Structure 1
């Protein structure tokens, strides 16, 4: 694993955009996806795992009941992967995990929890192209046939369930999936999902034997206010990433929180001017 620590904004930008140049495209288009978390101690556990003991047995029941009670006019297609994406998007515990193509969006999620501004944050950078090199042959061939790097719900329509998905290989593999553009939140967050072919295997466990596939960027907690202010200036905030009244309210609430919420305002201002 490559673990680096950022204590300044310039360091952070250098780390996030390292190896961004893609010679074959002659563009700055790195094959990385990002996940930001407010506390470096947080693991890459799915919301399903956080249900507690025996969570893996609840997976199919959760989705079955979600389909049963959801309004039918919310669902455009009666596809398993479409249902799973919608369920994850609306907060149902699933084995999907949220990622983004945008390092700035990942940084937003590092700085959303004001009560954790005294703890170091983290951004995980994962090379999805290297992950997909370890897919079962039929899935690798599907990507090749489509000339694609990532899957869509339509490309996976021939896999009718997660049980069938898990049986595609003896060893767990990780797949990255672009969700349908259900609403502006998915579009604005530049979002995608990961899924591992075993509900009991976390991405932390899966990545342990694949250190060349990811980088872990630890963000010094003293940098969080500077990140937050600069993201606001770049219009990366709750009002944009969560369109609607809920996001607007979250954004306004944070605008009126004093910067001395967790530290003296003088210390914050002095630290900001040093960069």
Structure 2
């Protein structure tokens, strides 16, 4: 990770001042005129510190670590076979590897703005710093997709990919990377490997270069990209209202581990001098 804090100069940024304003901003642009429904085409990513970048777990390893991507994935596929998670394509395997912590070129996003807010507020030790929600309109990023991928979306009548759709166009990462010389990003829904992925309304972003940085790409993407800054003083209020709405670790991480994570945070004493939303 870079030692200097990133500065997002050309990305549209808005600092909210209240819970009500946050709701307005999160759902801005959700009206779909062609469907006559509130159906946004946005991917959300919540982060507890507004200075955090969009480096992938592979980016964060530094150096030439991205060159080891295929080696790690090959080893993962070899040793993970026989587990309870059936994988039919490379994209299934890549999703499974990301899900279990292997460094990959994937980055976690969600269709749910409230799930994004959960990850922005899940760590009480960071309530003294501003958080951020990235909002990316994947219809806009799709404009830069190479022709075969655009054709696949049209054929399926979709705006995001499934692992199965991706496998139709690119069976491996090498062929995926060669689809275009220019950088592009696409969003795809991972297979429903477990309840965690389903409950988090998850999707992944992937670029056609293991060493590429999504934040650098989005800096040049003038349309459809926003950063909502949630000030530190609002974090506790946001967290309490998410708890009331049942957006908690107990739901997003089903099982005993999620239950204990929720209880540990929920009963965490409020530190003296913590910022207040009132």
User: What residue number does 2:5 align with?
Assistant: none
- CA offset at residue 71 of structure 1? 4.1
Q: Where do 1:70-89 residues align within 5 Å?
A: 70-89=80-99
Distance in 2 (alpha carbons) for counterparts of 1:104 and 1:62: 33
User: What residue number does 2:167 align with?
Assistant: 157
User: What residue number does 1:229 align with?
Assistant: 240
User: What residue number does 1:243 align with?
Assistant: 254
- CA offset at residue 190 of structure 1? 0.4
Question: Which of 55, 71, 76 lines up with 2:65 in the alignment?
Answer: 55
Question: Are 1:107 and 2:117 matched, yes or no?
Answer: yes
Question: Which of 220, 228, 235 lines up with 1:209 in the alignment?
Answer: 220
Pick which of 98-107 and 198-207 moved more.
Answer: 198-207
Distance in 2 (alpha carbons) for counterparts of 1:19 and 1:98: 22
Question: Which of 95, 100, 107 lines up with 2:105 in the alignment?
Answer: 95
SS of residue paired to 1:157: helix
Q: Is the 8 A contact 1:7 1:222 kept in 2?
A: no
- CA offset at residue 213 of structure 1? 2.2
Question: Are 1:35 and 2:45 matched, yes or no?
Answer: yes
SS of residue paired to 1:133: helix
Distance in 1 (alpha carbons) for counterparts of 2:151 and 2:237: 45
SS of residue paired to 1:211: coil
Gaps of 5+ in 1: none
User: What residue number does 1:188 align with?
Assistant: 199
Distance in 2 (alpha carbons) for counterparts of 1:119 and 1:55: 31
SS of residue paired to 1:156: helix
User: What residue number does 2:32 align with?
Assistant: 22
1:168-220 per-position Cα deviation (integer Å, ceiling 9, x unaligned): 00101101111111111011000000001111211111111112121100110
Aligned length in residues: 267
With normalisation by structure 2, the TM-score equals: 0.93
Gaps of 5+ in 2: 1-10
Distance in 1 (alpha carbons) for counterparts of 2:38 and 2:55: 30
With normalisation by structure 1, the TM-score equals: 0.94
Distance in 2 (alpha carbons) for counterparts of 1:203 and 1:117: 26
Change over 3 Å in CA distance of 1:78–1:19 after alignment to 2: closer
Q: Is the 8 A contact 1:175 1:195 kept in 2?
A: yes
Distance in 2 (alpha carbons) for counterparts of 1:175 and 1:74: 28
Distance in 2 (alpha carbons) for counterparts of 1:160 and 1:56: 19
Distance in 2 (alpha carbons) for counterparts of 1:173 and 1:216: 20
Distance in 1 (alpha carbons) for counterparts of 2:207 and 2:140: 15
Q: Is the 8 A contact 1:132 1:174 kept in 2?
A: yes
Distance in 2 (alpha carbons) for counterparts of 1:129 and 1:141: 14
Q: Is the 8 A contact 1:120 1:221 kept in 2?
A: yes
Over 2 Å off, 4+ runs: none
SS of residue paired to 2:86: coil
Q: Is the 8 A contact 1:174 1:194 kept in 2?
A: yes
Distance in 2 (alpha carbons) for counterparts of 1:263 and 1:8: 20
- Indicate the RMSD between aligned Cα atoms, in angstroms: 1.3
Distance in 2 (alpha carbons) for counterparts of 1:76 and 1:192: 19
SS of residue paired to 1:154: helix
